[in-house]
Structure 1
């Protein structure tokens, strides 16, 4: 087992335990009668999406680490990569929705965003359902592009993922589909960055306003501030890992021959956000639980 597989297995273990712990935490809150926050819906779906992401990539990589590189048939390759694309897509969309809804939630009454609070809460469930349906459909393209290593058909260009291969489309329809997917991702990133910038502005303004107010009189504001800060950390981590991962994927697609170091770096970076996000959220939940218990 080389260093790359060792690091990836550590990522799988940390990510799986972290996401499972968060899921158990929310189940515990539900059965103990805690009132859910407005953003908890997106967090729960983010946990499921991240679990799909890391497990769908973790299973084949773990098998490959133990010298079982050709254990997947064509159906297995398609299913795992399909789940990976769905998880990755839902992850970016739910993170985007999470940041936008939190920005709306903390906006003061004198801002236009405050008028959207009730509507935002009303349409949370339709938005998240639309998110899953959208990415279940978009990921269907993966079923055509992913093949197993034993496929003997001749394809002009492929990316070797050690256990499976991806066909690089040369036709116009493939380029159009890639452009639509990229446009969706860029839109989500722009909304995240815009919402994050707005939250930073609001939090800074709030900090100046309550500078001379006694700490115990601003408990609600402290809870909102902590939630916003953790979401800002979450979005920052997502933007970093997504940008680096997308750059590496583009390099893979543009290279005529798949460089092993580039492939390994892509796999490790792609698993970065599902691994670190539960750590960020768990630290937030522990802080909020302590704050609630003191009231």
Structure 2
């Protein structure tokens, strides 16, 4: 096995090992919460949806790339290339937009009750299902080029021009203009939510700073104790969202920088190394985001602790019943 292929396979394996169980854990924790409380808050619903699309990113792309790189399975033909890349790109872009929706909703959550922004938050919460539907339609529609131009690996000199080499698949555009136009549309689709979520995070940071200054001024007075629980929960949620947005901006910033680079290279097929780096950095967000969620979300932590504590109790009861 070539050393490059082995290293490639191990990198994708590391993303799979972290991302698949991590996202499954978040999904099961919120499903357990839904079962116990018969409802989910809008922010929890967004996080659950985010974990589902991140699971698709890691399971569909990274797992299959691992199997192919380590020569464990031969799975990439024309049809499978179209399906895998289409699902990956749709899920990846949905992950970006859902992170924006989460940051925007958290930004609206800090608005004072009765304000116009609080009314917008209630409106978003009421029509959250339609928001999800719109995002799915938008991103599945904008990923259509994959279904048209993705091909399996083959010995064809005509694939050299206007193509992107994905190691096991090619994306062969009909012309340089089509390559640049589709690439620019994808960059725009990513940059818009990135700019908006960055703005929302800056607003949250300003609020947290002002809130900390108010707490310092009120510290020691009895009036500061009444709203501490709610304020502390809001601050924890806000900090978790900022951590996710920061992770996104860093990783997808590198991803989009590499994508812009591929659009500037003319008349030659882009090296598979560049595509591997892009996929790795964009998939790294899908793999690491559940770690941030598990570490910062008290509801997820609470459900996991309950499950872990129930196991020793059940084992002890079983052992006592057999005595």
- Tell me, yes or no, whether TM beats 0.5: yes
Moved more, 27-36 or 213-222: 213-222
Moved more, 39-48 or 2-11: 2-11
1:220 aligns with 2:214: no
Residue from 265, 279, 283 that aligns with 2:295: 283
How far apart are the structure 2 equivalents of 1:221 and 1:289?
19
Aligned to 2:28: 24
Moved more, 162-171 or 228-237: 162-171
Residue from 189, 192, 200 that aligns with 1:195: 200
Secondary structure of 1:210's counterpart equals: helix
Secondary structure of 1:154's counterpart equals: helix
Secondary structure of 1:67's counterpart equals: coil
Deviation at 1:69? 7.9
Aligned to 1:102: 106
Q: Deviations over 1:154-190 (max 9, x none)?
A: 2432222111111145265554443333323221111
How far apart are the structure 2 equivalents of 1:102 and 1:197?
12
Aligned to 1:237: 247
Give the 3 Å change call, closer, same or farther, for CA 289–68 of structure 1 in structure 2: closer
How far apart are the structure 2 equivalents of 1:261 and 1:192?
30
Deviation at 1:7? 2.5
Deviation at 1:224? 0.8
Aligned to 1:269: 281
Secondary structure of 1:165's counterpart equals: strand
How far apart are the structure 2 equivalents of 1:287 and 1:30?
11
Moved more, 234-243 or 182-191: 182-191
Asked if the contact 2:163–2:170 (Cα under 8 Å) also holds between the matched residues in 1, the reply is yes
- Counterparts of 1:70-109 in structure 2, within 5 Å, are 71-109=75-113
Aligned to 1:13: 17
Aligned to 2:317: none
Deviation at 1:270? 2.2
Q: Deviations over 1:205-230 (max 9, x none)?
A: 11222233455741011111101100
Q: TM-score, normalised by structure 2?
A: 0.82
Aligned to 2:314: none
Give the 3 Å change call, closer, same or farther, for CA 22–158 of structure 1 in structure 2: same
Asked if the contact 2:166–2:276 (Cα under 8 Å) also holds between the matched residues in 1, the reply is no
Deviation at 1:271? 1.5
Tell me how large the CA RMSD over aligned residues is.
Answer: 2.5
Moved more, 177-186 or 166-175: 166-175
Q: How many residues align?
A: 291
Aligned to 1:56: 60
How far apart are the structure 1 equivalents of 2:143 and 2:24?
25
Give the 3 Å change call, closer, same or farther, for CA 69–167 of structure 1 in structure 2: farther
Secondary structure of 2:154's counterpart equals: coil
Moved more, 186-195 or 28-37: 28-37
How far apart are the structure 2 equivalents of 1:154 and 1:3?
29
Aligned to 1:143: 147
Q: Gapped runs of 5+ residues in structure 1? A: none
Q: Gapped runs of 5+ residues in structure 2? A: 306-323
Secondary structure of 1:150's counterpart equals: coil
Residue from 169, 172, 175 that aligns with 1:167: 172
Deviation at 1:70? 5.4
